[in-house]
Structure 1
């Protein structure tokens, strides 16, 4: 049996849906807290060679620092996808789908569209 160089043995391809799951989990990790009745962040990705372009949709409590929250999500998603999938992540687009109005404890929780 001869030794074959690692580069000649084959290739590993990580499916787009797996990268999307990593990105969605990373978005959840980055958020300070999810509104109680919010949908979990959802990610879609396009992978080309070893580069992933990510789009994350999420819901936030309002009022909050929307720009700060989105920036934290962008940074964390890029870092985690890079570390776990070994991909470059030049773009993470964050789309805020809904804002949930923060209300006094015990009050009904509403959505702002």
Structure 2
């Protein structure tokens, strides 16, 4: 074979090195995926935030988010889980066995308008 004539045989995949993706990069992918899954960020609310623990080719994800109220909270959390699993798998090549979604705050039209008109 032409590659082996000069003594340079093909290097096995396990000996070439590895690609390491930092936890913070995976967290940014997960947070963006959560934003994509939500219909919108509530007025006055914060965008989703993610923390990730990566072990080998597996990522455990925790998403914190704020939602409008009233809304179908279960459906939105399910959509976030699905989208995060899909995007982290596609972009980082990692298995995502766990996506924990924490709803930090619910924003209602009533609570948004409660502070308006009050004076001291």
TM-score band by shorter chain is: 0.7 to 0.9
Shift of 1:73: 0.2
Match of 1:100, SS state, is strand
Larger Rg: 2
Structure 2 unpaired stretches of 5+: 1-5, 116-120
Structure 1 unpaired stretches of 5+: none
Q: Distance in 1 between matches of 2:53 and 2:114?
A: 35
- Cα RMSD for the two superposed structures: 1.7
Please give the per-residue CA displacement for 1:62-104, whole angstroms capped at 9, x wherever unaligned.
000000000000000000000000000010000000000035x
**Structure with greater strand percent:** 1
Mapped pair 1:14 → 2:14: no
Please give the per-residue CA displacement for 1:28-81, whole angstroms capped at 9, x wherever unaligned.
000011112111100000011100000000000000000000000000000000
Alignment coverage as a number of residue pairs: 107
Partner of 2:66: 59
Match of 2:45, SS state, is coil
The answer to whether the 8 A contact 1:41-1:56 is kept is yes
TM-score (norm 1): 0.88
Mapped pair 1:28 → 2:35: yes
Mapped pair 1:38 → 2:55: no
- The change in CA–CA distance for 1:49 and 1:99 in structure 2 (over 3 A counts) is same
Partner of 1:108: 113
Shift of 1:108: 2.8
